[in-house]
Amino acid sequence: MRRKLAVVPERCSGCRICEITCAVHRQGVNNPKKACIRVTTVYPHPVVRMPVVCSQCGDPKCAAACPTNAIFKKDGIVQINKDDCVACHACVDACPFGAMYVHSEIDVPLKCDLCEGDPQCAKMCPTEAIVFLPEHVFGQAHRLNNVLSYAHMKEIEYMEKGKRKRLRYADHGPSEDLER
Amino acid sequence: MIKKGGYFGRLLHVDMTDGGSRVEEYDESLAEQFIGGRGFAVKLIWDNLQKKGRFDPLGGDNLLVVAPGPLTGVYMPSSGKNSFAAISPATGIYGDSSMGGSFGVELRQAGYDGLAVHGRAEKLSYLFIDDDRVKVIECPELAGKGNLETEGRIRDQIGDHELRVASIGPAGENLVRFACITSEWSRNSGRCGIGTVMGSKNLKAIVVRGNRDLPVCDLKRVEDISNQAYKELAGHDMMSFWQRQGLMSVIDYANELGILPTYNFHDVHFEKAEQINGYTMEAGYKIGNTACFACPMCCGNINLVKEGKYAGTVTEGPEYETAAMLGSNLGISDFGAILRGNHLCDDLGLDTISTGNLIGAIIEGYEKDLLTIDDLDGKPIVWGDDERVLELVTQIAHCESVGATIALGAKGVLEKWPQLKPLVQHVKGLEQSAYDCRGASSMALAYGTSDIGAHHTRAWTVGKELEMGADWNIEQKVDLVIYHQHIRSLFDMFGVCRLPWIELGFHEDFYAELYSAVVGSDYGLDELLKKSEHIYNMTRAIGVKLGSNKSQDYPPERAFDVPIHSGPLAGKVCDRQEYEQMLNLYYTKRGWDPQGTPVITGELNF
């Protein structure tokens, strides 16, 4: 079962713990600018705080753009072969999410490799804005959300044979929805 | 690098007059004696006074110091703090105000332990610190622009969305005495008119881009200590509540305890508090969280007004102080109006505490016939009149109509309208923040003896006294005030936030241990507190040199004269005799003379 990092921007507070954790854990330096993840913020219209990190794409555009074929995918992780990399940063430009980073002191672009299967950013995120999920779970939250917004769940409590029980049931939406 | 970590050993000096800059490489004794952050700021300001003598705080001689601490940006909870300090145009003595967010982290990453801004630019300019490149850039096009637009336009101009910008709005440019410095939409250095100093230097913004590694001696040890700390915080009972409401939870707490400023500090219990509390915010307004650098507590709330006359207003905030000062203190119970006020103050660059405090005094003055309708430009103002309050906020920032007088701060307002003396709640010219002190005399002492004026972050003892100090003697109260004044200074010197300590009970020793790991030699808490005490003596000495004395070490008159008339503390009022005893004991314990002059005052010879 493969797992991927997923980001929930609505939960992100912009605290940058993911950045500093990544830098300290992976690069061994106290420098959030050397992290493989960065929180991008936009305000006040619209308000978005969103950690941007590699999606380990199935068909990585970064690899396709690399002139020396230094980027390859192994075990579901897109990786850079440091020996082949010429630091042209074509990959950084090619990534549709901007999820590769450049720092003046490091030649090879900074890119997430999922910390050997235990991503520290997801572990340290205080609001669960970054989660590490099995691939097949992706999209489930949206599906569930959709279903729940269609049928407003209600809950009642009742007694049965002297025991308190709860029942959840789906109520149809507000009356204006029914009229349609 | 001096020491094994924690410091770059570099201070950046910029002279706005000619746009020149230089890097001062200081030696280890400065770090040893002053730690950093507020400590460095005080030292630089002290030296500047020594050199220049007494000067006009709004002139080019005033020095603006921007000082993150040796722990700012370090991998540890809540390390995003940064101090701004100068001689305050509001009080005329030393003043500082700290800011959270990421600005201080970025400044450190540019390789500086502090920034000192000298002189005054001819034309409105911003300062761009791009690692080693430092430039003063004229920006007439930004004149009169709000903080939000300023930040956006500078980012566009330079072509980098990830820059950190600390700017002033029109209030700072117009020298409103309680203008703030704002960064990242809503991180403010609000108090002491620190933004006014920026305005007086024609400095619209400080823009920073930094890429350096922060010097940390034993990163492995820091990582271990901090991982444990993050784990502890995550498991804390109050953590999720804190993330949900942040400081907004204090509205209910203060209202129940009887310390919520209501109707210009006349009452301490607001009958409509439930309309402006954390639950109201959660249920009807909150759309997201914000946090300062590396902080899991995310006490910032992003709110949107969904309906009513302020629909569409989106702001980061309010936190407790703003909700109380623009809410209950003005009799305003429309949470949407408070959000609108918060947004306006952030954008115009006004301190919400002083703004709410002074408008409260104006409303009460009019109510008690101490101000006439003509004083108010023919427009009356009453409690809860949110539209008129918001109009005043804008007028203050632009120094228009009656706003031009309010903009002069507590001292200026009293000069023009001396009859308001019993109504304007301030100490040394700094408007009182949102905790009533009549029920807890230690808090009165905290306001009275605060080195910058009536601000709660120097010593917040009111909670502890009301919760557990019912039979405390005066010595216990004095001890607590002094302890707070030292430990809280220490947080500002380190460049970290005090909230994990005061709100979630994080142990002080954690900070000493972390500092030791960062600098690479061991320090105990007591030793660090000694250094902090020295800083406190220095700021007091500066105050005494510039005209502060015992007569100003008292809380606002209302604390003695008007008993609380409702709530659990009804009938309570500070006792003058008890206060006098506490004050004298306070001086004695500090080793100051009976007039409150510290020994080192003589060293400042101008």
Whole-number pLDDT of residue A180: 35
Number of H helices, E strands in chain B: 24, 17
Whole-number pLDDT of residue B270: 96
For the four alpha carbons of B455, B457, B458 and B460, in that order, the dihedral sign comes to positive
B496 touches chain A (CB under 8 A): no
* B51 CB-contact burial (10 Å; exposed 0-12 / middle 13-18 / buried 19+): exposed
Q: Where are the beta strands (DSSP E) in B69-219?
A: 82-87, 94-99, 114-118, 125-130, 133-138, 164-167, 181-183, 187-189, 203-209
The rounded percent of chain B whose pLDDT value lies above 90 is: 96
The contacts of residue A18 (CB under 8 Å, 6+ apart) are A35, A37, A39, A51, A53, A121, A124, A125, A130
Number of Cα atoms under 13 Å in the Cβ half of residue B199: 29
The rounded radius of gyration (Å) of the Cα atoms in chain B is 22
The contacts of residue B253 (CB under 8 Å, 6+ apart) are B463
Is the pTM of the predicted complex or chain greater than 0.90?
Answer: yes
B24: left (phi over 0), alpha (psi -120 to 50) or beta: beta
Whole-number pLDDT of residue A150: 61
B293 touches chain A (CB under 8 A): yes
Q: Which residue numbers in chain B have pLDDT < 50?
A: none
Upstream peptide bond of B594 is cis (omega within 30 degrees of 0): no
Euclidean distance between the first and final Cα of chain B, in Å? 34
CA distance A126 to B223: 16
Euclidean distance between the first and final Cα of chain A, in Å? 44
List CB contacts (< 8 A) between B184 and chain A. Answer: 41
Q: Are B542 and B93 in contact (CB under 8 A)?
A: yes
Dihedral of the CA atoms B351, B353, B359, B364 (nearest 10)? -170
Upstream peptide bond of B555 is cis (omega within 30 degrees of 0): no
Which residue of chain A has the CA closest to B80?
A15
DSSP string, B449-477: H-TTSS-TTS---HHHHHHH-TT--HHHH
DSSP assignment, residue A30? S
SS3 B564: coil
| Shortest alpha-carbon distance between residue A14 and chain B (Å) | 6
B104 touches chain A (CB under 8 A): no
CA distance B413 to B432: 15
- CB-CB under 8 Å, A127 with B294: no
**Complex ipTM:** 0.96
B295 touches chain A (CB under 8 A): yes
User: Splitting chain A (180 residues) into consecutive groups of 10 residues, what average pLDDT does each group show?
Assistant: 90 97 96 98 91 96 98 95 97 97 96 96 97 88 72 72 75 42
CATH for A3-136, among 3.40.50.150, 3.30.360.10, 3.30.70.20, 1.10.3720.10? 3.30.70.20
- CB-CB under 8 Å, A11 with B293: no
Domain boundaries, chain A: 3-136, 142-179
Nearest-CB residue to B75 (from A12, A20, A33): A20
Whole-number pLDDT of residue A155: 73
- CA geometry: angle at B449 spanning B443 and B450, to 5°? 85
* B31 CB-contact burial (10 Å; exposed 0-12 / middle 13-18 / buried 19+): buried
The residue count of chain B comes to: 606
Domains recognised in chain B with CATH numbers: 10-209 (3.60.9.10), 238-424 (1.10.569.10), 441-503+524-603 (1.10.599.10)
* B163 CB-contact burial (10 Å; exposed 0-12 / middle 13-18 / buried 19+): middle
List CB contacts (< 8 A) between B315 and chain A. Answer: 44
SS3 B269: coil
B185 touches chain A (CB under 8 A): yes
- Residue B96 phi/psi, 5-degree rounding, is -150, 165
Q: What is the pLDDT of residues B336-381, one digit of tens each?
A: 999 999 999 999 999 999 999 999 999 999 999 999 999 999 999 9
| Shortest alpha-carbon distance between residue B314 and chain A (Å) | 7
Q: What is the pLDDT of residues B450-495, one digit of tens each?
A: 999 999 999 999 999 998 888 899 999 999 999 999 999 999 999 9
Nearest-CB residue to B294 (from A11, A16, A44): A16
List CB contacts (< 8 A) between A12 and chain B. Answer: 289
| Shortest alpha-carbon distance between residue A128 and chain B (Å) | 11
- Residue B478 phi/psi, 5-degree rounding, is -60, -45
Whole-number pLDDT of residue A177: 39
- CB-CB under 8 Å, B296 with A17: yes
Residues 509-568 of B with CB under 8 A from A: none
The contacts of residue B347 (CB under 8 Å, 6+ apart) are B146, B147, B148, B169
Distances (CA, A) of B432 to B99, B122, B205, B495: 19, 34, 27, 24
The residue count of chain A comes to: 180
Q: What is the pLDDT of residues B227-281, one digit of tens each?
A: 999 999 999 999 999 999 999 999 999 999 999 999 999 999 999 999 999 999 9
Whole-number pLDDT of residue A170: 59
- CB-CB under 8 Å, B184 with A17: no
